[in-house]
Structure 1
Amino acid sequence: MPPTLSGSRATRRTAGAVGAVALIALGAAPAAAADPEPALVLGKIAPLDGLRPGSRFTVPTSFTNTGTAALGKVWMSYSVTRGLGHTEVPSNCLRYEITDFDEEPSHSVVVCQFDQTVKPGVVYAPERPLTLKALDHALYDELRVTVTSTETGQGDGASEPVRGTGPALKLVERPDETPAAPGSAQHAGWDGATVKVTAKNTADFQVSGARLKGRAGDTVPLVVRFTNAGPGWVLREIGAGATRIRIKMPAGTSVTKTDGFCESLGSGTYECGTAQAWINEGEGGTYRFSLRIDKAVPGARGSVALAGQPRPFDIHKANDTADIVLDATGGGSTTGGGSTSSTGGSGTGTSGGSASGSASGSGSSGTGGTATAGTAGTAATGGGMADTGAGPALPLAGAAAGAVVLGAGTVLAVRRRAARQR
């Protein structure tokens, strides 16, 4: 029978109750020999590179029971990030989805239960290797394989599991393979491996600039955007941002309001980050500043440019930079004339979704002067990216309240990560 996927809280309560009964028994009866501890070790799984979007591929997996006693059943799970998909799911397996959360991207999980004896010192493998497919937006993905001797819960954010409809899968012995050595298990009753999967695909990171207009003394809004135009999504190392955006302000201006995702590098230059280590195709971020025109400098220009980690997947370099053009005239006052500004779209960041913003859209009102979005193309916002006034992400240089929220999110992420390891 497939696993029932009981929750982790229920598992902890059951474990506590069993522990209490055991303590009572110790006081009433002589101590008995402890049961042998189960031990499982996965075989090596090589990274998968050069897959073509739309193609299918198999994942050969095997494991050894390195303990001293036979096991009555085991579970194997296969978790893939969003660029990969499961194909036919056997009837003794369950499939469910887990949404993105804090620093973990969304992933799809298949858990298979094998009700058969697993002898010690023998290599076992599913009789048919699991088949996966590379989706159109595959680029940098991960496959997580685990084998366990006990049933574990789904973790937070999981959908209702669905039973597979394909022919049931069973384990077979592999006498031609060398078993893992006794005592080599690194965990009690489980083992896991994360496999890098890379597809032959590209992702076009691009930025848009802006055109500003006003008089000396005016304060004008500056809005610039970053977009992943696809077709691939990009997953970086967890804990790092997807990319960095460097913004150089035009001469003769000073920043009166900084976007929460950006920090000053000095000399009128700011560097902005992203909320997560991944960027979905068709999504991006919006960065908003307020600039005071201190004096009119003829031909004043700033710039927006991609920075940070190398981008070997991005073959379109012409849209990696854009200009910020300032048309300023002398005179004016610090209160400005109250003219309107066009910020190039009204899309706001959303977690896991996208909302497009057109370069000709209307924006909010400024305090004297006009700002018009640049012409680097349409930019979509979403995926929890930077957008002051909307979006769940924390600023890079946020206030103490942001740190409290981050701490709470980290605790939940650790709970989810622990559930995935089993």
Structure 2
Amino acid sequence: MPRTAADRCRPLPRTAAAIGAIGLIALGAAPASADGPQPVLALAPVSPVLGVKPGSSFEVPVAFANKGTTTLEKVYITYVASYGLAHRELPSNCTRSDLPEDDDMPAYSSAVCEFDQTLKPGAVYAPEKVLSLHVLDHALYDSVWVSVATGPGEEDPDRPEHPVPGTGPAVKLIELPSTTPVGDSDPEHPDRDGAKVSVTAANTADLKVTGARSAGRVGDTVTVQAKITNTGPAWLAPSDHLPQTLITMPSGTTVTEAPDYCYKTATGSYNCYTSMDWFDVGDGQPFTFTLRIDRAVPGAKGSVTFDAKQAPYDKNRKNDTAAILLDIDGADGGSTSGGGSVGGNGSTGGSGSTSTAGGSGSGSPGGSGSTGRSTGGSGSAGGSASAGSPGSSTTGGDLASTGSGSALPLAGLATAALAVGAGTVLLVRRRAARR
């Protein structure tokens, strides 16, 4: 999705709001008729699930009340599990749909259970057997959206479902004591109620940065490309779990073009957000900059790193920082930058030609040229976010930014979160390429 100049001064929003829209699939039942008494459903609170281990299972207890004045003859309970979770054996009165990743959201699985029985006004009910979910090896920050409704919801025409019936014994609803606490119903949609259950797994995700090395003569324009990659084992869901990448260019250079999702924090320094909505294992985000070599500065080098405080799940700090090196031909008889490691793990950043504009030279922009999934709207906890400061990059990047050496200013970084309401439906688009 094209981004305006104003967008370039803002941090990219994340897509928890978009993935939160998955949960609304379960709430797509037709609204109750305005004529006569209406059904009123309200869920009981569901506690977050913390510290579950990959390979284990956990239960999602669901209870609800018929707060209306009429008897209900049928309800549906829906469980939508995010990418790091999977449904186990389901009762025969439930169906499961597994939807693959697409341009709008990651893969997920939904289970819809139909209960064809009489539900009295004022009574509280729960399934006689609690549904269980499996924690996959790549789980970390995941969610389950649960809902109760008088209808089964509507199929997304862009992602047709192919439900598979459960094979276990059918499950019925049992009546609970009337003193069982339940929440308030939604006055705008009394015929359905839903809630998001956060699931945090005891897992890690290792983010690796790759630097870059380029070469040219004074006056040349060259390209450098740094990168951040999720090496796993966990995926990173759309939320505030994708850190900002801090990039500083070597002294003696001017940035003539910067990525739209990077903004200037100081001369030659940029704070970059990922254009991806989520990071699966193996996903990488490149950051490609165009530099003009203004003068040779012996020993000058830049760097790429990220704010480790934003990634507590990353326990390997050895590959969190890498160098950006620039070899300038003809300066005092040789290169000004000398040797050095470019990759975060001690390797160089890749290979490629870089020199243009009246000079020759070869170098290696680090990392691959893939982009990721681009967001098209606000997300839940849009990751760490910092508003563009005066001097933020606009179209064409920082056109008057002279490189400042390896210092990485961390001041001015702020986090912003956007709450996800149950009534908010937001779809996003990712950038065309990945990995």
> Is TM (by shorter chain) over 0.5?
yes
Residue 127 of structure 2 aligns with which residue? 126
Is the CA contact 1:121–1:179 (under 8 Å) kept in the aligned structure 2? Answer: no
Aligned residues: 342
Whole-angstrom distance in 1 between the partners of 2:370 and 2:213: 20
Residue 247 of structure 1 aligns with which residue? 247
Is the alpha carbon distance of 1:11 and 1:118 closer, same or farther for their aligned partners in structure 2, counting shifts above 3 Å?
A: closer
Helix, strand or coil at the partner of 1:46: coil
Is the alpha carbon distance of 1:177 and 1:282 closer, same or farther for their aligned partners in structure 2, counting shifts above 3 Å?
A: farther
Whole-angstrom distance in 1 between the partners of 2:231 and 2:63: 39
TM-score normalised to structure 1 length: 0.72
| 2:370 is aligned with 1:372 | no
Greater Rg, structure 1 or structure 2? 1
Is the CA contact 2:72–2:118 (under 8 Å) kept in the aligned structure 1? Answer: yes
Whole-angstrom distance in 2 between the partners of 1:177 and 1:129: 20
Residues 6-59 of structure 1: CA deviation (Å, up to 9, x unaligned): x99x988xx8xx99xxxxxxxxxxxxx942110011111110001000101111
Residue 66 of structure 1 aligns with which residue? 67
Is the alpha carbon distance of 1:250 and 1:385 closer, same or farther for their aligned partners in structure 2, counting shifts above 3 Å?
A: farther
Residue 259 of structure 2 aligns with which residue? 259
Is the CA contact 1:39–1:190 (under 8 Å) kept in the aligned structure 2? Answer: yes
Residues 208-267 of structure 1: CA deviation (Å, up to 9, x unaligned): 112222221122210111001110111243xx5722111100001112222232222230
The structure with the largest helix share of the pair is 1
Higher relative contact order (CA 8 A, sep 6+): 2
Residues 275-328 of structure 1: CA deviation (Å, up to 9, x unaligned): 244311221211111211111110011010113862111111121111112222
Is the CA contact 2:351–2:365 (under 8 Å) kept in the aligned structure 1? Answer: no
Deviation at 1:104, TM superposition (A): 4.4
Is the alpha carbon distance of 1:369 and 1:415 closer, same or farther for their aligned partners in structure 2, counting shifts above 3 Å?
A: closer
Whole-angstrom distance in 2 between the partners of 1:206 and 1:361: 14
| Greater mean alpha carbon deviation, residues 198-207 or residues 259-268 | 259-268
Is the alpha carbon distance of 1:278 and 1:134 closer, same or farther for their aligned partners in structure 2, counting shifts above 3 Å?
A: same
The structure with the largest strand share of the pair is 1
Whole-angstrom distance in 2 between the partners of 1:285 and 1:85: 27
Is the CA contact 1:83–1:134 (under 8 Å) kept in the aligned structure 2? Answer: yes
Residue 166 of structure 2 aligns with which residue? 164
Residue 211 of structure 1 aligns with which residue? 213
Residue 351 of structure 1 aligns with which residue? none
How do residues 237-386 of structure 1 correspond to structure 2 at under 5 angstroms?
Answer: 237=239, 242-307=242-307, 310-330=310-330, 362-364=351-353, 366-367=355-356, 368-373=360-365, 381=370, 383-384=372-373
Residue 349 of structure 1 aligns with which residue? none
Whole-angstrom distance in 2 between the partners of 1:169 and 1:380: 51
Deviation at 1:101, TM superposition (A): 5.9
Whole-angstrom distance in 2 between the partners of 1:51 and 1:160: 29
Residue 144 of structure 2 aligns with which residue? 143
Q: Which amino acid aligns with 1:370?
A: S
Is the CA contact 1:285–1:385 (under 8 Å) kept in the aligned structure 2? Answer: no
Whole-angstrom distance in 2 between the partners of 1:365 and 1:180: 63
| 2:428 is aligned with 1:414 | no
Is the CA contact 2:352–2:365 (under 8 Å) kept in the aligned structure 1? Answer: no
Helix, strand or coil at the partner of 1:235: coil
Corresponding residue to 2:235 among 233, 236, 241? 233
Whole-angstrom distance in 2 between the partners of 1:290 and 1:180: 57
Whole-angstrom distance in 1 between the partners of 2:327 and 2:186: 67
Whole-angstrom distance in 2 between the partners of 1:114 and 1:11: 15
Deviation at 1:383, TM superposition (A): 4.6
Deviation at 1:137, TM superposition (A): 0.5
Is the alpha carbon distance of 1:87 and 1:319 closer, same or farther for their aligned partners in structure 2, counting shifts above 3 Å?
A: same
Is the alpha carbon distance of 1:319 and 1:331 closer, same or farther for their aligned partners in structure 2, counting shifts above 3 Å?
A: closer
Residues 73-97 of structure 1: CA deviation (Å, up to 9, x unaligned): 0000000110111011222112113
Residues 394-414 of structure 1: CA deviation (Å, up to 9, x unaligned): xx9787xxxxxxxxxxxxx82
Is the CA contact 1:242–1:276 (under 8 Å) kept in the aligned structure 2? Answer: no
| 2:58 is aligned with 1:93 | no
Is the CA contact 1:57–1:131 (under 8 Å) kept in the aligned structure 2? Answer: yes
Unpaired stretches in structure 1, ≥5 consecutive residues: 1-6, 20-32, 333-342, 345-357, 387-395, 400-412, 418-422
Q: Which amino acid aligns with 2:131?
A: L
Is the CA contact 1:296–1:330 (under 8 Å) kept in the aligned structure 2? Answer: no
Residue 76 of structure 1 aligns with which residue? 77
Unpaired stretches in structure 2, ≥5 consecutive residues: 1-24, 333-341, 376-387, 396-423, 429-435
